[in-house]
Amino acid sequence: MFRTHTRGELRISDVNKVVTLSGWVQRSRKMGGMTFVDLRDRYGITQLVFNEAVNVELCDAANKLGREFVIQVKGEVRERSNKNANLSTGDIELNVTELNVLNSAATPPFTIEDNTDGGDDIRMKYRYLDLRRNTVRLNLELRHKMTIEVRSYLDKLGFLEIETPILIGSTPEGARDFVVPSRMNPGQFYALPQSPQLFKQLLMVSGFDRYFQIAKCFRDEDLRADRQPEFTQIDCEMSFVEQEDVISTFEGMAKHLFKTIRGLEITDAFPRMTWQEAMRLYGSDKPDIRFGMTFVELMGILKGKGFSVFDNATYIGGICAEGAASYTRKQLDSLTEYVKRSQIGAKGLVYARVEADGNVKSSVDKFYTQETLQELKAAFNAKSGDLILILSGDNVMKTRKQLCELRLEMGNQLGLRDKKTFACLWVIDFPLFEWDEESGRFMAMHHPFTSPKLEDVPLLDTNPGEVRANAYDMVINGVEVGGGSIRIHDSALQNKMFKLLGFTEARAQEQFGFLMNAFKFGAPPHGGLAYGLDRWVSLFAGLDSIRDCIAFPKNNSGRDVMADAPSALEQSQLDELNLIVEIKE
């Protein structure tokens, strides 16, 4: 056999045993007549000892081993004289009597260490080597443990894991689909699912009242730290439920994961916040509530005092950073440049310091009396040493989002966003629709199958923009880790929804007719939620990007630089699929 034990398995109790080990050479060190080799596999590291005084040829062979050589060794376990408390196997070493090189290895392009010298691009190109690093391996082990716990939790609640199709019809609402040409149906295309939404609703019609799936999903959209073109959802649906039932079930799952994976016992109910309140206080529908700095609207205090920037504004709002009055002019100028960046787009930043004597010193002092500045101080309940930061603009929502970015940046700078601290929140009562200026029509904020609040249904005929959705998102540390809704199960209401979204009857039937027809045969009230598995794992691992918890991720251009995908097809393949490729300038 290639091995009797793994690298992390041997302990002091195994001393005097003769064992066989296999793995990769992590590093080697020659010290006089002794050669020490660290042998690694995914379970850990074991130190090997080759003694020139005992076997010169064997020691010479050990000295020729390079990093990442795959070897097999046999020897006797003995207690180390110089123990390593940082290794689980640090009390022992293997006195090698036999060495077999199973495969030599080229010198890797970066060090296979926790703190590697490889940059993102090179590690993505050689991802199979990057996966050997302990830090990356731990992320994938964490992912595995979470999926086991998810399945266990849902199984105990009577959920069935059911797979839904990967090749489906295209529904070009929301994000762009990835499409797949059909050879057997020339000129026609499948789409890869953005979610299993339609099929899980059909499962409810079928009587499978508790469904889940750890589902691959695909969206052809611009990438960022928490997005990949293919990602994994913990997708769930339940019949005969209301919003409270769904929230209770999946808040329970969240608490279960915190306890089993992170060892954190959460007994209190997660707080809830309406979408309107989240936007008013945080400028975001996924607020990070680990720290304060909530928004204060300042129109009544600062408008109409001769400062044209504020006098012409539709919205003036600010945040108060406790203890940050010590910020230098250089730091404040840097903050101003930060909010003026193109991705944020603010025109400038006004600041006010609360001095040690209680007076307020502002960057726009000449326009405001100390009396007005004291009103500003009182609005924030600010104290000596605090720093007030103010933004304004002619679009309320846009300015709030800019202020949100400033708040998060201040949270980072002041060390208020500790990755070891978790703050959970439900955001509820989203708008059902959002107005799209480009198309001149309402769009579904979530998807067309989200039910309106029952008390708001009459507003569908009179004021659709004020209708609230029976929808809910779970937010942890400013990250939306999951969301869902109660679905429409009534054909008449679903048809009205399609009409408000600008669907003709023919188009609605073409895209969603199979679901609408199913509703005619008795659809139960149902609702569900989908958690982002990648986001959960990255949150628990303290990562800045979901890419680091996916075995083979894409880069920011949506490319797999290791496998060089996507790539062009050969002409014979294009001919077989009846495709002509024309690349626009």
- Counting residues of the chain whose pLDDT is more than 70, the rounded percentage is 99
Record the tokens describing residue 191, joined without a space.
């789409």
pTM of the model: 0.91
What pLDDT score does 222 carry? 79
37-69 pLDDT, tens digit each: 999 999 999 999 999 999 999 999 999 999 999
Residue among 141, 133, 140, 137 at smallest CA distance from 117: 133
pLDDT at 505: 87
Contact indicator for 306, 364 with CB cutoff of 8 Å: no
Does residue 125 carry a pLDDT above 70?
yes
Under 8 Å CB-to-CB from 461, ≥6 apart: which residues? none
Which residues pair with residue 401 across a beta bridge?
Answer: none
The helix or strand, by DSSP H or E, that contains position 326, with its residue range, turns out to be none
DSSP state of 448: T
**Strand ranges (DSSP E) for 244-331?**
272-274, 296-297, 315-321
pLDDT value of position 511? 86
Half-sphere exposure of 76 (CA within 13 A, CB side): 6
3-class SS string, 501-516: CCCCHHHHHHHHHHHH
Cβ(429)–Cβ(274) below 8 Å = yes
Cα dihedral sign, 245-248-254-259: negative
d(CA 135, CA 152): 26
Confidence check: pLDDT of 421 > 90: yes
498, 454 Cβ separation under 8 angstroms: no
Alpha-carbon dihedral 551, 552, 554, 559, rounded to 10 degrees: 180
Residue 227 has pLDDT above 90, yes or no: no
Q: Which two tokens stand for residue 313?
A: 């504004």
- 535: Cβ–Cβ under 8 A, 6 or more apart, which residues? 226, 479, 480, 481, 546
**Which runs of consecutive H residues, i.e. helices, occur in 263-395?**
275-282, 299-302, 308-311, 329-340, 370-380
The count of other CB atoms within 10 Å of the CB of residue 502 is 13
Mean pLDDT (the chain, rounded): 94
> 3-state SS of the chain: helix, strand, coil percent to 5?
30, 25, 40
Euclidean distance between CA atoms 444 and 446, whole angstroms: 5
Q: How large is the average pLDDT for residues 87-110?
A: 95
Other CB atoms within a 10 A radius of the CB of residue 125 amount to 18
pLDDT for 172:
64
| Per-residue pLDDT at 442 exceeds 90 | no
Calpha distance 200→160 (Å, rounded): 11
- 467 token code pair: 């209708």
Does position 226 have pLDDT exceeding 80, yes or no?
Answer: no
Mean pLDDT of 29-42: 94
| Contact between 488 and 515 (Cβ < 8 Å) | no
Least confident of 82-86, 268-272, 274-278, 452-456: 82-86
In angstroms, how far is CA 207 from the centroid of its own chain?
Answer: 32
Can you list the domains of the chain with their CATH numbers?
A: 12-103 (2.40.50.140), 141-272+424-549 (3.30.930.10), 291-413 (3.30.1360.30)
CA 60 – CA 35 distance, rounded (Å): 9
Positive or negative, the Cα torsion across 513, 514, 515, 520?
positive
- Sheet of 315-321, strand order: 296-297, 315-321, 387-393, 350-354, 360-362
Residue that has been written with the tokens 């609408």 in this structure: 516
Nearest-Å Rg of the Cα atoms of the chain is 30
Cβ–Cβ < 8 Å for 232, 534? yes
Give the pLDDT confidence score for residue 295 in this predicted structure: 98
Distance in angstroms (rounded) separating the CA atoms of residues 252 and 214: 18
